[in-house]
Structure 1
Amino acid sequence: MAKSKPLSDLGDTDLIEKLADAKEELFNLRFQLATGQLDNSARMKLVKKEIARVNTELRAREIADADALASSASGEDN
C-alpha cells in the first residue's frame, strides 16, 4: 500500500472532500454491520480515526487563522 500524503500537505478543499468520503464510508460500514454483511469490523475503527485526524487538522488551521488575524489586528492598533 502506498503511503499517502500527510494531512498538513493537503489543501482545505481536499481535506473537506476526504472528510466527506470518510463519513460516507463509515455510513456504509454501519449499514453493512446492521445487515450482517460486514467482513472487516476493524475497518470501522480506522475510518473513525481518519475522520478524527481530518477534523483535528481542520480545527488546527482554523485556530491558526484566528491567531494570525488577531495578531495582525492587535498590531494595527499600536
Structure 2
Amino acid sequence: MAEMKTADIRAMSPDQMDDAVLNLKKERFNLRFQRATGQLENTSRMREARRDIARIKTVAAQARAKKK
C-alpha cells in the first residue's frame, strides 16, 4: 500500500477515516511481528504506516475543529 495523500484523506468520511486508522494499526501490529521473526522485507513500510496514521488523525482533528 502506497503512502496516503492528504487530498484522498480529506475526501473520506469520518467513519472511513476511523476504519483506515484501524486497518493501519492492524498492519503495524503484523509488521512488528514480521520484524521480530526476521520476515520483514520492506522495513520502510513501518514508517509509512505510522505516518499515515498520524496524517489521518491530523486531518480528522482539523475537520472536527472546523465543524465547531
Instruction: Report the TM-score, using the length of structure 2 for normalisation.
Output: 0.85
> Cα distance, 1:51 vs. partner?
0.4
- Paired residues in the alignment total 65
Aligned pairs for 1:50-61 within 5 A: 50-61=52-63
Higher RCO (C-alpha 8 Å, min separation 6):
2
Residue in structure 1 matched with residue 13 of structure 2 by the alignment: 11
Residue in structure 2 matched with residue 75 of structure 1 by the alignment: none
Residue in structure 1 matched with residue 31 of structure 2 by the alignment: 29
> Cα distance, 1:54 vs. partner?
0.5
Q: Which has the larger radius of gyration?
A: 1
2:63 partner letter: R
Aligned pairs for 1:59-70 within 5 A: 59-66=61-68
Q: Percent identity?
A: 32
Q: CA RMSD for the aligned pairs?
A: 2.0
Structure 1 unaligned runs (5+)?
Answer: 67-78
> Cα distance, 1:39 vs. partner?
0.7
Runs (4+) off by over 2 Å: none
Instruction: Report the TM-score, using the length of structure 1 for normalisation.
Output: 0.75
